[in-house]
Amino acid sequence: MYQAPAPIVKPAWQRNAIAVSLSDTRPKIAVVMDDMGATRPSMDRVIGLPGPLTLSWFPFASQLPAKVAAASRRDHEAILHMPMQSYSNSIAQTGPNSLRVDLPDAVNLELLQNALDAVPNIVGMNNHMGSVATRAVPLMDIVATALRLRGMLFLDSVTVAHSVALARAEFGGVLAASRDVFIDPVPVPAVIQRQLAEVEATSLRQGYAIAIGHPHACTIDALEAWLPSLAKKGFALWPLSATVALRNHIDLTSTPADLIQSSASQGTASR
């Protein structure tokens, strides 16, 4: 008796990704906006920016399904902004329920699983803070395992120079990348303009750039003017998912089995 082939189930990062044209050969720029869901006025302004952008949402933000859906209607992609332990040890900085090196593995895993469940339709996650956590191999291996089992991506925000997060994610078979440029390390217009120029230069040099910004008023002001100019300058604005796939030589038309095999083969890829 004839049996129809089982339907192909794409991994979560591909199911939730914003579609892009694979034939676009322009240098790519992905803009990730962190700290989403912290304040309402800035959040609404970020959602209104031209996309596709990748918006990184706090798991403790309120009304997340409605907020993420509103952003999706504007062609913005979603990731989890996972609080992680920093040097300051300040909950005021990290937010509640951060991943910590002094917590049992089971507790960290439960905190991560709950956070991944809190933000709907995500393609993956990046770290919020984490100058302590992202230097801890056992903790980053927990993160990598959870993301691999869920079929999700990882972005190392690189909040500390000696982060092991990217290397452990790749070793664990997770499609991953690291931040190239912080748009607003100091939230003043002159610094932001200099950093946006560095984003363009990085994209021209390596074919793509991943930039992280924050919902400061001056950052949003700068992005409102800069984002519409990218096409005229010869750049493609791409979501994080497509840029991570590009970095890891993943064909977005591949089957899940192909993606798993290719991801494993990229485990020791250099940045």
- CATH code for the domain in which residue 108 is found: 3.20.20.370
Overall domain count for the chain: 1
**174 domain-assigned:** yes
**126 domain-assigned:** yes
Q: What is the mean pLDDT of the chain?
A: 91
pLDDT band at 263, cuts 50/70/90? very low
Judge residue 191's burial from the number of C-beta atoms within 10 Å of its C-beta, 0-12 exposed, 13-18 middle, 19 or more buried.
middle
pLDDT band at 238, cuts 50/70/90? very high
Summarised one tens digit per residue, pLDDT across range 107-159 is: 999 999 999 999 999 999 999 999 999 999 999 999 999 999 999 999 999 99
**21 domain-assigned:** no
pLDDT band at 23, cuts 50/70/90? confident
Q: Report pTM.
A: 0.90
**268 domain-assigned:** no
Mean pLDDT is lowest, of 31-35, 44-48, 90-94, for: 90-94
**14 domain-assigned:** no
With beta carbons less than 8 A apart as the criterion, state whether 182 and 195 touch: yes
**17 domain-assigned:** no
Summarised one tens digit per residue, pLDDT across range 44-83 is: 999 999 999 999 999 999 999 999 999 999 999 999 999 9
Question: Angle 119-237-71 (CA atoms, 0-180°, nearest 5)?
Answer: 30
CA–CA gap between residue 237 and residue 50 (Å, rounded): 10
Domain extent, residue 147, equals: 29-263
**23 domain-assigned:** no
According to DSSP, residue 99 is labeled B
**230 domain-assigned:** yes
With beta carbons less than 8 A apart as the criterion, state whether 128 and 81 touch: yes
Summarised one tens digit per residue, pLDDT across range 159-174 is: 999 999 999 999 999 9
Please state, for a pLDDT cut of 70, what percent of the chain lies above it: 90
The 3-state secondary structure of 162-196, one letter per residue: CCCHHHHHHHCCCCEEECCEECCCCCCHHHHHHHH
